[in-house]
Amino acid sequence: MAGRTAWFPGHMAKGTRQLEELAGKLDVIVEVRDARAPELTASPLTRKLAVRKPVWIVLTKKDLADPAVTSQWLSYYKNRKREAWAFDLLARQIGPLRQAFTRCKPSYRELRVAVVGIPNVGKSALLNLLVGKKAAVVGGIPGVTRGVSWYKGGDFLVVDSPGILDPRSGAAIQRALAWLGCSKADVIGGYDTVACGLIDFLQKQGLWHYVEEKWGVPADPGDVVAVLEGVGRRLGCLVSGGNVDFTLAGRRFLESFSTGKIGSLSLERPDALAAPALNEDGGEGEDEE
């Protein structure tokens, strides 16, 4: 179950430099975050970029989050004077964002927008909706977009950028990001370790009933490995002799969770930020590549 604690390949360092150089040319920066954990999935870049340009928040994967909690997040950002929207990008309805862009567009040229965020949150999917065609590649694994590229569509000139993580974030944060598909479980600790962390979190947060209802696997707060074994058996992740293949079980469990097959549930709530269960970070980051 051993592994690295951080995933920060070279294209992330390069993308950071490129975005910082580009910032002066932009009108608006759109920071894409996952609606299921909007603070955990915040971009490490935007604090720096926000000094220079307005940063608007777009929460994606609204369809995978608890709708009541997403509404609370939108109120939370509104109260802090942040522009924020939540979308299910698969439903392709981003009208309010488009209208806000149109209001900001200079009369003499296109509006220049950069879409930024951590890996796999839906940056390229949003870009494609903004430019009105399948311009950028969209994929279910983190690290699909590797470079910074401009795309033109209608009244907008939009920059797609690679998902960029905080190289200083420690093991606990990277593992929680892997639950959402934003970091690579196989690189940072192994599918089984990362899945056990998620099982533990869901049990402690009183969210395991989603899994129990779906797959009939009961909670066992004292033995997360036994719970993963139950999940593996239920999903048919077996090796010869009828034993559970824990790596495969962990992988299947994480895939099911990150793609919403277990249900629409939120990992972070604004009212719990004072005691943030997801940000207890014990480990030190370690650069890779």
Spatial strand order in the sheet of 149-153: 84-86, 55-60, 28-34, 111-117, 156-160, 149-153
H-helix or E-strand containing 108?
A: none
Q: Which stretch binds ligand GTP (CB under 6 A): 75-83, 140-148, 221-229, 231-239?
A: 140-148
Contact 161, 148 (CB under 8 A): yes
- Is 138 a binding residue for ligand GTP by CB under 6 A? The answer is yes
Q: Pick between residue 88 and residue 200 the one whose CB is nearest to ligand GTP.
A: 88
CA atoms within 13 A on the CB side of 112: 12
Contact 194, 179 (CB under 8 A): yes
Contact 159, 272 (CB under 8 A): no
Q: Pick between residue 111 and residue 136 the one whose CB is nearest to Mg ion.
A: 136
Q: Which stretch binds Mg ion (CB under 5 A): 10-18, 28-36, 80-88, 117-125?
A: 117-125
The binder of ligand GTP chosen from 37, 40, 114, 125 (CB under 6 A): 125
Chain centroid to Cα 125, Å, comes to: 13
- Is 15 a binding residue for ligand GTP by CB under 6 A? The answer is no
3-state secondary structure of 114: strand
- Is 165 a binding residue for ligand GTP by CB under 6 A? The answer is no
Least distance to ligand GTP, CB of residue 146, Å: 8
Q: Which stretch binds ligand GTP (CB under 6 A): 102-110, 141-149, 215-223, 225-233?
A: 141-149
3-state secondary structure of 278: helix
The binder of Mg ion chosen from 145, 183, 247, 258 (CB under 5 A): 145
- Is 247 a binding residue for Mg ion by CB under 5 A? The answer is no
The binder of Mg ion chosen from 16, 43, 124, 174 (CB under 5 A): 124
Residues in the chain: 289
Residue 140 corresponds to which tokens in the numbers above? 């279910």
- Of 277, 282, 257, 255, nearest to 205 by C-alpha is 277
Residues 222-281 that bind ligand GTP (CB under 6 A): 260
Q: One symbol per residue from 48 to 67: x for binding ligand GTP (CB under 6 A), - otherwise; what is it?
A: ------------xx-xx---
For residues 203 and 220, give the distance between their C-alpha atoms in angstroms, rounded to a whole number: 8
- Is 43 a binding residue for Mg ion by CB under 5 A? The answer is no
**Using CB under 6 A as the criterion, which residues of the chain lie in contact with ligand GTP when the complex forms?**
60-61, 63-64, 87-90, 117, 119-125, 138-140, 142-145, 162-163, 260
